[in-house]
Every structure is written in structure tokens, then in C-alpha cells.
Copies of this chain bind each other. A is one copy, B any other.
């Protein structure tokens, strides 16, 4: 690149897959990326643009004119095009759309932009093969040949009636196996799964992976066929969802990546650290209120165990909340809340009992009196029960109120369990030891 050897670069990139080129560009200096993008033809660069990292793409698009962007967009499928235009400012969106040459393409993209983020409409593409039930197989094949040139991959052929309402589907295979003179109405399959255009994208992902679908048609409230969603978009939705839950469980505000800048990483990490700090400061105040215990030489060692109590409460809490959050995602949380309460208490009692045995043996070795060991064990059991109930029911309650239950994982649970755990620990120990 340094010596501007254009033909060599063009040739080098000629044989590479666009996903690989995108990876190379993500690594390169910004000026070099722009240079390469302008060098390659728009059929290839449009594919590359869709594969780029969002940050890199934003920078590149900033340096292209509305006309240049429109040329790239013109080569894209409607769903990718709408995604990328959606990242621009509203003014640039208008400029790019009006610079599009193909008016139908422009109208399709405008329609897709009008749907809510995270809805089936935002995920769908307009490219599909549609046949009317009144056509014959031979006529159908002819028209499919024409339509198919526009569509990069033929997933399913959707059968509609005169009002464009979805009534069934057909696979290319069925069409090939059928006789030329048969009518579509004789051979189509009238069972077809479809989703409403306003359906939530996670719900669409669930449906498609449950029924192992590779594409699903999208319809409006009147069952009119509007577009289709393909499985590769669903793979992205599933990945995003899993990443989001993982980051929440680990105390990151969404969308932090290892190659982000220091500033972005601090911004992603600080909020939960501050929240956790305030929780721990609450624990400091609680301990101050119990500080007279320190004056008693027999019992001052209770303070050595506060990090242990906090750690166990935290671990139990995140385990419970993780099981619930995954269960909610997979629709496994059914049945009465009372049964779940009983189950959690049983698990806590068993785990608490086994951990207590270890603590009793350990404190015995260190030479603590047995009353002291018992006080710690009994408080620990109570802490485990409370911690697991918080971990279990806070996500369930959030979910019932329509809030993402994954919010109540990770630092949220460990922080609240720290405070409750230390409070319960000292209260119970005080009662048992009669201080």
C-alpha cells in the first residue's frame, strides 16, 4: 500500500472472500482502509461494508459522500442496506436514500427503516420469491428464473393469493419434482410458519431455532406477505443476546470489546464498580455498628470471616440468578413459585450443611471454641438461604414486570448479597454467642 501499487492490490483482494477483506480492513490504518474501499468495485465493497466492525464502518462512511454510499447501498440486500443506513444521522439517511437510483429499492429500504428496532420488521429483507396460486409449474419456473436473479439465495418459495396474502410455501425441490402442467394450487404446502412484522426479534429467533427453519416469512396483521427473515440474521441475534447476558453477568455495561479504547473500556466498567463500591460502603457502616464485638478477645475473629460470608453469599447468588436467567430464556421456569421456593431452600440447606462441616473442621484446627464455629456455621446457612432466594426471585420479579431479568445478575446480586449477608451474619452470631 505504501508504494500505491494499485493493480497489485486489486489483484490481491480479487480472490479473497469479502469477510476476510473486512477483517484485514478492521486491522489497517484508517486512511489505508478508505484507500482500498475506493479502489475496489462497489459489488465487492458493498459486501465488505456489511461485514466490517461497526466502529470501522462508521469512520469509513463518514468519509464517503452520500452518492458514494448510495452506490454501495444499491448493491446490498434490503435488510443489510437498511441496517447500515440506520447507523447514519437522519439528514444523511435522507440524502443517501434520495441518491439511490433504483426507486423500488429505495422504497423497500424506507419501509424497513420505519419498523421498530428489535422487531421482526427491522430484521427482515424484502428479497424473496413469491408465486401466485393460480400459476402453473412451467409458468412458475419461468418467472422464478427472472425473480431468482435478484435474490442471492432461494430459501423457500412463498405462495400467495390474489390479495398477496400468504397461503403456503413451496420448495424448489417440490417444483423440480412436479410436472410442468400442474397448477401451484395443487402442489403447494398449506402449512407455513410466519411471524408478524411487529414480533420481537428474540421471539423470532426462538421460533426459528425451535422449528429448525432456515427462513421464515413475515406478514402484516392482514396476513399480507411483506418479507422474509433468514437464519444468518438469527444467528446474529442469538449471538448478540448471549453476549449481552454474559456482559451483564460480569458487570459490564453493554458493548465493550477488548479492542475498544481505554476511554470506552472505562465507561463500560465504571458504573458497576461504583455501584458495587456503594454497596460495600453500606457494609462498612453495618460493621461499625457491630464494632463492640472487637473488644471481646474471644469473638473479634468474627471479623476475619466477613469476606468469607460475602464471598459465599455472592457465589450462591450468582449461581441462582444464572440458572433462573437461562431458565427464563429457555421457557423452563414454569409451575408454582412455592415449589421453586421449596427447591431453593432444600438446595441451600444441603450446600450450607456441607460447607458448614468444612468450616467446623477448619475452625477446630485453628483452635476456635465450638460455640464460635457453630455461630459461624448457623449464620452461614441463613446467609446461603437468603442469598439464593434473592438470586432466584429478583430476576423472576423483574421478568414479570417486563424488565430484562439479566439486569439482576453479576455485581447487582453480589453487592446486595454482601450487604444482607454481613448484616445477617453479625445479627445471628450476636444472638448465638450472647454478646
Contact = CB atoms under 8 A, between A and B. Distances in A.
A351 B148 CA distance: 55
A64 to B, nearest CB: 24
B145 A172 contact: no
Contacts of A242: 238-239, 242, 246
A276 B326 contact: no
A101 interface: no
A63 interface: no
Nearest to A193: B17
B305 A284 contact: yes
A288 B239 CA distance: 47
Which DSSP category, helix, strand, loop or mixed, fits chain A's interface?
helix
A276 B285 CA distance: 25
Contacts of A270: 351, 354
Contact of A326 (B234, B258, B291): B258
A324 B273 contact: no
B173 A259 contact: no
A358 B172 CA distance: 66
Nearest to A288: B304
A308 B332 contact: no
Q: What is the oligomeric copy number? A: 2
Nearest to A322: B250
Interface string A275-301: 011111101110110010010000011
Contacts of A343: 262, 265
A308 B322 contact: no
B251 A355 contact: no
B312 A273 contact: yes
B409 A250 contact: yes
A149 interface: yes
Interface stretch (A87-95, A220-228, A410-418): A410-418
Contact of A269 (B209, B272, B347): B347
A307 interface: yes
A214 interface: yes
A144 B314 CA distance: 59
Contacts of A418: 307, 311
A308 B284 contact: yes
Given A246-B249, A326-B257, A350-B262, A284 B304 contact: yes
A143 B314 CA distance: 63
Interface string A137-151: 000010011001101
A332 B258 contact: yes
Closest 5 CB pairs of A and B: A258-B327, A250-B322, A280-B308, A242-B242, A287-B304
5 contacts: A258-B324, A259-B334, A265-B347, A269-B319, A272-B319
Interface of A: 17, 19, 27, 141, 144-145, 148-149, 151, 153-154, 171-173, 176-177, 209-212, 214, 231-232, 234-236, 238-239, 242-243, 245-247, 249-252, 256-259, 262, 265-266, 269-270, 272-274, 276-281, 283-285, 287-288, 291, 294, 300-301, 303-308, 310-312, 314-316, 318-319, 321-324, 326-327, 330, 332-334, 343, 346-347, 350-351, 354-355, 358-359, 362, 366, 409-411, 414-415, 418, 422
